[in-house]
Every structure is written in C-alpha cells, then in structure tokens.
Amino acid sequence: MVQSSVLGFPRMGVNRDLKKANEAYWAGKISQKELLAEGKRLRGEHWKIQKDAGIDSIPSNDFSHYDHVLDHIQLFGAIPEKYSKYNLDPIDEFFAMGRGLQKPQTPEAAAVDVPALEMVKWFDSNYHYVKPTFQDGQNFKLSSNPKPVAEFLEAKEAGIITRPVLVGPVTFLALGKADRDQNVVPISLLHKLLPLYEEILIKLKEAGAESVQIDEPCLVFDLPPKVKNAFKPAYDKLSSLSGKIPELVVATYFGDIVHNHDVLPSFSNLHGLHIDLVRNPEQLDTVMGALGEKQLLSVGVVDGRNIWKANFKKAIETVETAVQKLGKDRVIVASSSSLLHTPHTLASEKKLDAEVKDWFSFAVEKTKELAIIAKAVTDGPASVREELEANAKSMESKATSKLTNDSKVKERQSKITEEMFNRKSPFPIRIAQQQEKLNLPLFPTTTIGSFPQTKEIRVQRNKLTKGEISEEEYEKFIEKEIQDVVQIQEELDLDVYVHGEPERNDMVQYFGERLTGYVFTTHAWVQSYGSRCVRPPIIVGDISRPAPMTVKESKYAASISKKPMKGMLTGPITCLRWSYPRNDIHQSVQAEQLALALRDEVVDLESAGVYVIQVDEPALREGLPLRQGLERENYLSWAVKAFRLSVAGVKDSTQIHSHFCYSEFQDFFQAIAALDADVLSIENSKSDAKLLKVFVDEAYPRHIGPGVYDIHSPRIPSEDEIKDRIQEMLQFLQPDQLWIDPDCGLKTRQWKETKAALTNMVNAAKFYRQKYSKSS
C-alpha cells in the first residue's frame, strides 16, 4: 500500500487566528494561558483536517507561535546570554528573541532592553526564520518540557498518532552563525548537539512515536566540506540507536540533492528519505539508486510552494515510476515541502471567478490531493475515476483559457531593444545632475517608504470595499493622511520624504490590482514572519498596465512638500516572487512583462515632478537559485535586465533608489552592482557591519543606505546606538556615499515608536554631518 504524508501544515488558522492571538498577547489583552489554549485549539483542528482527508503520516511540532527554527533554539538551550540573563518566562523569552523586548523597570523586575535575533529568508521562499546565533564555548541543554514530545502527546490524547518534525542537526547548525565578535564555527558544535537529538528521540519513542521526520534541507545547497562531512558522523550516531528511537525519515526540499549523492549512504540505514520532485523531478532515478535495500522513498509530487492544482496524470506517473522499482510498500506520496507556504483553504474564497478557482488548490485541498494520488496508485485509477476526470478538465481549462493570453503584451515584448536596458549616462554624470537638482546634505536621511498603517486607515479602506463610503470620500481621507505624513517628516527634519503609502494594502497586491493578468483572494493569507501575514496575488495571464498606478498620490505629495518627494514602486522581480506565479510560462517572461508596466509608471512619475523614485527589489535575493551554476547565472541575467528595463527610461537628473531585504548579498554582489541604481538601501541593521566590506573590496561607486535600526521590532534604538552603528559603517563606506535610513518600511510599527526612533536617527545623522563638515 502506498501511503500519504504531509511535511507540515500552515499555522495561522482559517482566519489568521494565531496572528490575532499573538498580537493580543503582546498588547496585554489576553493572558498567557489564553494564548497557549488558542495554539492548542489550532493544532487540534489542523491534525483533524489531515486525518479526515485520509493522510497517513500527519506532522506534529510543525506548529510554532513565531518560527520553527526559533522553537529549536529554545528547545536546545541555544539562547544568547543577553536574553537568558533576564530569567523571563519561556514564552516571553521566546518572543524576545523573535521580535525584541523593551520593558521599563518595575518594583518587581529590572528593565529589559534586547533587540531581536537576526531574521533571514528560509531558503528561496518568502518565509523568514530566526537565525541560530552561537557563542564561543557554546553549550546546549534540552528544555525541561520538550515541545516535540508535548505536542506529540497532545495529538495522541486526541486520538491521532503523528510524525513529529525536527530540523536536522546539520541544517540547524549550518543555518546558524557566530555571534558578533565570536569566532565559533557552528558546524564544529555537532558533537555537543547530537546528544540532545538522541535524548529527544528517545523521549519521543517512549511517548509512542513510531517515526520522526528529520528535515535536512541544506542538502540542496553547495555545501562547504566541513558541513558536508558532518552528515556521516551525525547519522551514523543516530542509526546506531535503532530500536531505542523512532524510525527516521530524512526530508529534503526546495531543490535536488544529486550533487550531494555521496552523502546519501549516510542515510541508508534510516527508515526513509524524502525528495522534492516538483522542483527537480529529474533526481528520482539517481536517488532511488542510492537507497538502502529496505529504505522507503517519500516522493514530493504535490507542490508545497504554489497554489495550482496538482496534475494528477503527471503525479501518478511519477509515483508509479518509483513503485515499479521499489514496490508499493516502499513509496510514500507527499507534499514537496511543508504546506506552510500555501493558504489555508480554498473554501474561504467566495469571490473568485469559478473558472479560475477551479485551477487552484490550497493546503486543505492539497491534503485531499495526496490521498487521491496514493489511492490511485494503490488501488488503481478506477478507484478514483471521478476525481481524475475532474482534474483533467481543470488542466484543460487552464491551458486553453482566454484569460491567460494577450497578443498586445507579446507584441510589445518582441519590440524591446538593448538600448531600453541602459540609463543615458554613467553614474558620475548622473549623480552630479541629481545633486544639482536635489541639493541634498551629507548623510541624507530618508525612510524606506511606508509609514504606520493605523486602524483608522484599515477601517476606511474596509468601508470603501463594502461601499459604505464613496471613492471621493476615500480619496479625501487619503489626502489628509498624506498631509499628516508630510508634516511629520517636516517636523522630524528628514531630507527626502515619502508619501507614506496610506492607500496601499500590500506592496505587491496594490500593484497587482492595477495590472491585467492578476487575480486576488480574500482569505488566502500565508505567514511571512512571526505574526506578519501576506495575501499574495496570483498571476494567471499576460501582464500590462492599463493606467497610472501611483502617480496621483505621489504628485499630490510632491506638491505640498518642501523637500524632495520619493515615489515608491515595487520592482518586477518582487512583484513576481511575492505573487504566486504562472507555472505554464517561464518566470523570465512574466518578469519582463512586469518591467514594461513599471517602466511606464516610472516615466509618468518623473513627468509628474517626482525626481526620486525607489523601485524596491527585496525579493531579488530570495529568487536566487540555491546553487552556483548556469541556472543561477541565467536567473541573475534576466532579473537584472528586468529591473534595468523598468527604470532606464528616466533622465540622468532623476535619482533611482532600490531596496533589498536582508544582508546576505555577498554571493550575488555583481548582480547588485549591475542594477545600476543610484542609491541602494539594504537591510543590514541586525548583521555585522563587516559584511559591508564587499562594497570596499569591489570598489562600489554608488550610494548606500545600510539601515541603521531594525523595524521588525517595536524596540526604540537610542541616539547613541545609532551613532555607533553609523561609525561602524564608516569603516567601510565613504561619508559622501552613506545614506541614513531604517532597514525597511514602517508599515507594521506604531506612530509613537516610529517618531521616537526617527528622531534619534535624524539627530545621529546631524551629529556626523556636523563632524564631517568641520573636518572638511
């Protein structure tokens, strides 16, 4: 019998219940007991959904109140001393590491002031994990009430035997880093960490767990020798515990593992191995050839990263290929990765066009797909004839729909010339003209774009959606919001203003709603980080811009501003990556279509009197193929060309900015330079300023805003703290090169903390402006 398996399930709940509970707890509106009870309720619901769908291996310990890697940091006691010294309650310590904590002194407790741990993208997804941070002399200690055991027993009590999920020891260490001013090599800690895996696995066996999923996704990387060589001792040790611990299934995803085929014998004595055949179906034969004699293969044939229905015909053919070689009892039908990256259920979508809705499958529906595929292979296609016929009709509908093709878009793409990718003049000429037009001081200050989206903004937007106010009333409200934001920036004495984006619901959805080729959901939320959820639009057809998208608001803001106003756009790669893209044409084609639409918008902004334009590409790094080679080179080529196509239509005197999320840019620095943006802002506030050395080594000539404080935390940095950060940056950047800004947009923050942090930032910039003015 072919069994079915889910590698992980979304955590938020059908109505973002976890987000609401977490935020209520942070605001002091619910108790810890109520928060934990809501988590338990959600876990129970999610296990039942999978059981009712007919899933054989249901995961546990995939749930987290913030992040699953952060769960493991706490599970293994890898808690930096700056958090542990406060002796906080475990859940508060957990959240302090995830989002920072700032509490005044009370008669009962000392003041607390700690920033969050660094947060980076989970492989090439839009999910963010908290990076394990290790110290010299690092030790580990298993928590007193291990979460994987507690949640397994919780499910068992509800009548469901789950398969607990653990991040594997090699991946946990490989994804970590040494803390600032520490020299520890994370993978060297393996011998200290392995005993804790032994301990937790023995506890799970004693609790009744039959198998455990060990996630080792770092196998899809080009691994350094020390990391690659760590697999053998790690899994030799775990294999030696056979009988004392549950059966182990090692899971890989987001890429192929063929290039690390010499590692596979390390797993040959384990129960099973999972591979992602949605991303890399060609790896099947090689991996099957490397399996142990009785080892199971979990084949990931239902996409855990996208919302399109599985093609049953193709999926069944793939599974049957594995069955022919291994037999039914050695094959598991699985999701390609955790379903964390997909929305909860399609049943919540009441407004989607029926034809388009029939093409989609969200997490709940994907569990049913897995059960159907497993049954089709086990009992034959006749056992699920109706389901297979319905699926075939969906595939045919999508392939032939008029919604997907626009001849005018294709014609415009065919007329793109090489000249359209290049600015008129090189940077030295451009920056001289820009300085003459903008007259900016040394260490210019700005923000990344958005300002806090207040409850009132959301209420008014909701009223417009429901028809309770007119378009005219809403536009007047937005104008007043822009006036307020401009006035606040005047009071703060920033140098380049933004209009604050009060009219925007999301930095991708807002643009998608104004472009052809997109469709939108009402409840298809997915977790980005912590309690932050996004509702990605879905690209279903060719893309074009029927009319200007942002010009009205930016033009108005510029007309009431005393200083330069920055127009804010989302770049083509981010619009692509933060949507669910089409799976019937290459992503480079979709990116080029987006670039042409944005090119028109950039030119229109300039014509409207907006001479600083920021085209954000926070997802550029996220889209980078995980391994070196031709695929990565090709991606960077078409991604860079798409950005350049979108911005190259303006005059030299118009300043083009771009923003990038997270600081891991060393491995594609040449592509960043090739964008030819006049000013880059990067999210480097939680990283070591030494990472900026690459800009020195490569003699990067243009301007940079590395981000002087972390906006993902409510914590307010002091003026001295920001001064210290700037001083660190000046070790690697020239004074006339450095912009002073937060590390990301301020949409999720509150006004009180925003004003306080920006006041400190501006004062710090003025301190250095005065210092360097005197020395010149």
- In 3-state terms, what secondary structure has residue 527? strand
Task: Map tokens 């298993």 to a residue.
Answer: 142
CA 580, 585, 589, 595 dihedral sign is negative
What CA–CA distance (Å, rounded) separates 534 from 536?
6
Given 65, 68, 657, 712, the catalytic residue: 712
Rg (alpha carbons) of the chain, rounded to whole number: 26
Whether 53 and 368 have beta carbons less than 8 Å apart is answered as yes
Question: Tokens 């797993």 map to which residue?
Answer: 267
**Positive/negative CA dihedral, 22, 28, 32, 38:** negative
Q: In Å, what is the CA distance from 3 to each residue of 258, 319, 333, 373, 377?
A: 25, 11, 6, 10, 10
From 283, 309, 313, select the one nearest 299 (Cα to Cα).
283
Q: Give the Cα separation of 215 and 519 in Å (integer).
A: 34
271 is catalytic: no
Annotation-wise, does 52 bind a ligand? no
744 marked as binding residue = yes
SS3 content of the chain, % helix, strand, coil (to 5): 50, 15, 40
DSSP string, 209-252: --EEEEE-GGGGS---HHHHTTHHHHHHHHHTTBTTB-EEEEE-
616 is in an annotated binding site: yes
Instruction: Retrieve residue 521's tokens.
Output: 């959901």
- Tell me whether residue 218 is annotated as binding: no
DSSP letter string, 275-311: EETTT-GGGHHHHHHHS-TT-EEEEEEE-SS--BPP-
Q: How many CB atoms lie within 10 A of CB 683?
A: 26
Is position 58 annotated in a ligand binding site? Answer: no
How far apart are the C-alpha atoms of 313 and 708, rounded to whole Å? 52
Main-chain dihedrals φ then ψ at residue 331, nearest 5 degrees: -125, 130
CB-CB contact of 59 with 363 (8 Å):
no
The reply to whether 575 sits in an annotated binding site is no
Residue for token digits 């406060």? Answer: 86
CB neighbourhood size of 746 (10 A): 23
Residues 6+ apart with CB under 8 A from 426: none
Contact 146, 360 (CB under 8 A): no
Distance separating alpha carbons of residues 314 and 714, to the nearest angstrom:
48
19 is in an annotated binding site: yes
Contact by Cβ (8 Å): 58, 160? yes
Is 183 assigned to a binding site? no
- Look-up of token digits 């590409």: 617
Give residue 537's identity as a one-letter amino acid code. Answer: P
Q: Is 541 annotated as a binding residue?
A: no
Rounded Cα gap, residues 48 and 250, in angstroms: 24
- The answer to whether 126 is annotated as binding is yes
Q: From residue 695, how far is each of 4, 149, 380, 620, 737 by CA, in Å?
A: 49, 47, 59, 18, 11
450 is in an annotated binding site: yes
The token pair that represents 335 in the structure block: 């999701």
Q: Give the tokens for residue 744.
A: 């990301």
210 is in an annotated binding site: no
Q: How far apart are alpha carbons 35 and 33 in whole angstroms?
A: 5
* C-beta separation of 213 from 59 below 8 A: yes
Q: How far apart are CA 586 and CA 577, in angstroms?
A: 13
**Sheet strands (E) in 661-702:** 679-682
Integer Cα distance of 217 and 287 in angstroms: 15
Inter-CA distances, 296 with 5, 236, 263, 322, Å: 12, 18, 17, 10
Tokens of 668: 């594609």
Give the Å distances, CA to CA, from 683 to 153, 588, 665, 686, 706: 40, 26, 10, 8, 6
Q: Which residues are annotated as a binding site for Zn(2+)?
A: 659, 661, 683, 744
Q: Which residues are annotated as a binding site for 5-methyltetrahydropteroyltri-L-glutamate?
A: 19, 126, 532-533, 578
Q: Which residues are annotated as a binding site?
A: 19, 126, 448-450, 501, 532-533, 578, 616, 659, 661, 683, 744
> Which residues have a catalytic role annotated?
712
Q: Which residues are annotated as a binding site for L-homocysteine?
A: 448-450, 616
Q: Which residues are annotated as a binding site for L-methionine?
A: 448-450, 501, 616
